[in-house]
Chains A and B, each alone.
Chain A
Amino acid sequence: MTTSNATLNKKSEQSSTTKFSWDTWAVLAAFVAALLIRFGVIKHIPW
Chain B
Amino acid sequence: MSETFAIPQVKELEFKRAQPNLQFLRVIPGILLLAAIGYAGKLLEQNVGKYAKSHHWIFPNIEYVLWAILLGLAISNTVGVPAIFRAGVATYEFWLKVGIVLLGARFLLGDVLKLGGVSLALVAIEITGAIAFMTLLGRIFHLKPKLTTLLAVGSAVCGVSAIIATQGAIDADEEDSSFAIAAILALGALALFTFPLIGHALHLSDHAYGLWAGLAVDNTAEASAAGALYSDAAGKLAVLAKTTRNAMIGFVVLAYAIYWAGQGQARTVKNKAAFLWQKFPKFVLGFLLISILATYHFFSKDQVIALANLSRWAFLLTFAGVGLRTNFREMRKQGLRPFAVGAIGEVVIAVFTLGLVIGAQKIWGW
Contacts and interface: CB of A to CB of B under 8 A. Distances in A.
Interface of A: 1, 3-5, 8-9, 11-12, 15-16, 19-27, 29-31, 33-34, 37-38, 42-47
A47 B315 CA distance: 12
Interface stretch (B76-84, B92-100, B254-262): B92-100
Contacts of A30: 97-98, 101-102, 283, 286, 290
Given A15-B19, A25-B94, A26-B98, A34 B282 contact: no
Contact of A19 (B19, B172, B178): B19
B17 A34 contact: no
Contacts of A34: 102, 105, 290, 293, 299, 307
Contacts, number: 99
B366 interface: no
Contact of B94 (A19, A22, A47): A22
Chain A at the B interface: SS class: helix
Interface residues of B, number: 44
Interface stretch (B5-13, B51-59, B204-212, B350-358): B5-13
Nearest to A17: B278
6 contacts: A8-B14, A16-B278, A26-B283, A31-B286, A34-B105, A45-B307
A9 B170 CA distance: 11
B328 interface: no
A30 to B, nearest CB: 4
A1 B7 contact: yes
Give 9 nearest A-B pairs by CB, closest first: A26-B97, A30-B101, A27-B286, A45-B309, A47-B309, A45-B306, A23-B282, A5-B174, A30-B98
Contacts of A47: 309, 312-313
A19 B17 CA distance: 11
B303 A37 contact: yes
By secondary structure, the B interface counts as helix
A27 B173 contact: no
B365 interface: no
Contact of A22 (B93, B178, B306, B307): B93
Given A30-B101, A34-B105, A5 B173 contact: yes
Interface hub of A8, A21, A26, A33 (most chain B Cβ within 10 A): A26
A36 B313 CA distance: 16
Contacts of A5: 167, 171-174
Contacts of B10: 1
B344 interface: no
B286 A42 contact: no
Given A30-B98, A38-B299, A24 B168 contact: no
B219 to A, nearest CB: 15
A22 B164 CA distance: 14
Contacts of B278: 16
B20 interface: yes
Contacts of B94: 22, 25-26, 29
B115 interface: no
B307 A23 contact: no
Contacts of A33: 98, 102, 307, 310
Interface in B283-320: 283, 285-286, 289-290, 293, 298-299, 302-303, 305-307, 309-310, 312-313
Given A1-B7, A27-B282, A37 B307 contact: yes
B16 interface: yes
B281 interface: yes
Contacts of A16: 278
Given A22-B16, A23-B281, A38-B298, A12 B101 contact: no
